[in-house]
Structure 1
Amino acid sequence: MIDSDDKLAALLPRVRAADWLALDTEADSLHAYPEKLCLIQISLPGADELVDPLASLDLSPLLEALRGRDLILHGADYDLRLLRRAYGFVPESVFETMLAARLLGFLEFGLTHLVKELLEVHLEKGPQTADWARRPLTQRMVNYARNDTYYLKPLADLLRARLREKGRLGWHQESCSRLVQDCAELRPTDPDQVWRVKGADRLERHGLAVLRELWNWRDHEALVANKPPYFILRHETLVALADAAAQGTTVLPLLPPRLPARRREGVQAAIERALELPASDWPQRNRASGRRPDLDERRRCDALRHRRDRRAAELGIDPTLIASRATLSSLAMDWDKYQAELMNWQRELLQH
């Protein structure tokens, strides 16, 4: 484990000189709130290193050495967003193996499956719910973490060759560039939407007022306890409590039996605060987005969907890689406006 500045300094020349680099991360999202980056795995020729971000290291020299490289990752979306939030890190380019597998038509594209299918190596699924903030890591956790990057280089070589053979390497390069671009954007949180958990759309405005207050209470509790919010109360329970309170029925039977008395009091206080709000302060219900398409738009959308599905079947890939249903609807409404959001290879497939 690289957990000191001296060890990190010894790694840097090897990273800068490496012909290739594979990268992965681990966080503690199942055990802490907010989540934090707990481990960075780096494979390079002849070594598989684990870097400890919790050891108060100055990681800026390492991240700078990684920034200008073409990094190999699998399921990179989560890792790139985590590194962007934690350190402002955005790589110059990546080779994303999951995306490569999907563009080749693999129906199962998890790392374990691809390593078994292409490299004939059986990987243990490993401690997927482990607390990566614990120290020291168990040997099983160390092995699992190293395996996440150890096989990425040979896997990427095989996938790259197949993409080139099928004439899809350019598709992959463009898709990886879009992925890096998307992950570099920090999405602002809308305070009027963040508390609208699954099921909130069933509530009337009074119930939404209660839900908002309950969500804020739970978020504070989760931060204080350093536990994920669902450890405090599940989304479904929040919605059920909000609905019952707005209807004037008792909420006590909806609370988990083991919920501590202090938290029961917190729930009741949050509900009472919401019920005291005047109707003018109740949140508005989310309106259905967009308008109903007219007959011509529906016909254009059907034609685009038929073309997309035909091309996807010919290529043996998931049709949504070419365009999602929402994208097709937007294109049918105004092709000139929304076609710019397509990647070049997607646009070409939809036009021919």
Structure 2
Amino acid sequence: MSTADQGAGSQDGPGGVPLTEPAGGTPPVITDVAGLREACARLAAGSGPIAVDTERASGYRYWPKAYLVQLRREGAGTLLVDPIPLDGELAPLAEILGAHEWVLHAASQDLPCLAELGLHPPALFDTELAGRLAGYERVALGTLVETLLGYRLEKGHSAADWSRRPLPAEWLNYAALDVELLVPLRGKLEAELAGQGKLDWAHQEFEAARTAGPPAPRAEPWRRTSGIHKIKTARGLAAVRALWEERDALARGRDRAPGRVLPDSAIVNAVLADPRTDAELRALPV
């Protein structure tokens, strides 16, 4: 049985040791340039690659921006950076991050919002992608950490509204834990890929992910409206499109997730009800 097969088999076991807080405690959030410069000096004095993660507010906000950036490096500890009050004043961070390899999990999810902040990796190691290449069927961060390192990460705030301020202490603890073991996980996966003769292949895949750029916009995204299969006529589809586009414009202007402006179900139900007047449309339940 291969190492990957052994890991897959152990995922149904009793579980690893619960990891409830970072080794050095949850650090304070950096919100000003002076604090950022001090943090960057700590990063520069550390060694090895830098673990990087972000927290967004998907499901709450329209724009997929980073509302928290988590960093960890050997010798520097964990840093939590709030890019919102810094308002683009991230040059010291861009300089240090631009000189060292990043370790991310599912890099394609984080790289676009980090690029919006002017942060670009010169090289990266994606632990999710590495897990797939090594043969693991389940490559969630918590699963790989438990399988390869024997610790269990407590999950529960990934879908939270990270645009909220102030951020609750338990959320910050969760965010800090997301980078706590990324570098040790990188080491385990790198050794496994090397043993399987896949390390060069993996580095090519990491480079492709690093240079891929943002995904192209979807063609006719309104067709992904949940429940659209219930609409059987061209007129009905045109109505879905009109409502979807109006909702999208409102959501974009308010920076709110479209589903929080008007759920997909309300769009579909309105089209099925086929109201004849504005009053009839407004009277429909949401």
Same structural fold, with TM-score higher than 0.5 when normalized by the shorter chain: yes
Tell which deviates more after alignment, 20-29 or 219-228: 219-228
Which consecutive residues of structure 2, in runs of 5 or more, have no partner in the other structure? 1-28
Alpha carbons of 1:246 and 1:91: their partners in 2 closer, same or farther (altered >3 Å)? farther
Return the match for 1:30 from 59, 62, 75.
Answer: 59
Equivalent residue number for residue 176 of structure 2: 146
Could you list the per-position Cα deviations for residues 149-178 of structure 1 after superposition, in whole angstroms to 9, with x for gaps in the alignment? 110011100110010011011111111111
Structure holding more helix per residue: 1
Report the more deviating stretch, 217-226 or 70-79: 217-226
1:32 is paired with a residue whose SS is: coil
Change (3 A) 1:195 1:64: farther
Cα contact 2:59–2:259 (8 A) shared by 1: no
SS in 2 for 1:31: coil
- The Cα shift of 1:53 comes to 0.5
Relative to its length, the structure with more strand (as a share) is: 2
Distance in 1 of aligned mates of 2:217 and 2:125: 27
Q: RMSD of aligned C-alpha atoms?
A: 2.7
Contact 1:20/1:71, CA 8 A, preserved across alignment: yes
CA change 1:90–1:251 in 2 (3 A) is farther
Q: For residues 252 and 156 of structure 1, do their structure 2 counterparts lie closer, same or farther at Cα, with a shift above 3 Å needed?
A: same
Which aligned pairs between 1:68-87 and structure 2 lie closer than 5 A?
A: 68-84=99-115, 86-87=116-117
Report the Cα distance in structure 2 between the residues aligned to 1:91 and 1:216, rounded to whole angstroms.
Answer: 35
Q: Which residue pairs with 1:4 in the alignment?
A: 32
Partners of 1:2 and 1:212 in 2: CA distance: 43
State the shift of 1:252 in Å: 5.8
Instruction: Give structure 1 regions of 4+ aligned residues with deviation exceeding 4 angstroms.
Output: 199-203, 250-254
The correspondence for 1:232, drawn from 261, 272, 279, is 261
Q: What do residues 123-144 of structure 1 show as CA deviations (whole Å, max 9, x unaligned)? A: 1113222221222222211111
Q: What residue is the counterpart of 2:125 in the other structure? A: 95
1:205-255 deviations in Å (ceiling 9; x for gaps): 32232112101221233245543111233224323433553999x976994
* Superposed counterparts of 1:173-188, under 5 Å: 173-182=203-212, 184-185=213-214, 187-188=216-217
Computing the radius of gyration from Cα coordinates, the structure with the larger value is: 1
Q: Percent identity?
A: 35
The higher relative CO (CA closer than 8 Å, separation ≥ 6) is in: 2
Measured against aligned partners, the alpha-carbon deviations of 1:303-331 in whole angstroms (never above 9, x if no partner) come to xxxxxxxxxxxxxxxxxxxxxxxxxxxxx
1:69-103 deviation line (CA, Å, top 9, x unaligned): 2100011111012223x235432221000111111
Cα drift, residue 188 of structure 1 = 4.6
Corresponding residue for 1:64?
A: 95
Q: Which residue of 2 aligns with 1:194?
A: 221
Q: Which amino acid aligns with 2:100?
A: R
- Structure-2 separation of matches of 1:29 and 1:124: 20
Q: When the two structures are superposed, what TM-score results if normalisation uses the length of structure 1?
A: 0.65
Structure 1: 5+ residue stretches without partners: 260-352
After TM superposition, list the pairs within 5 Å mapping 1:158-177 onto structure 2. Answer: 158-177=188-207
Check if 1:21 corresponds to 2:37: no
Query: Number of residue pairs matched?
Result: 252
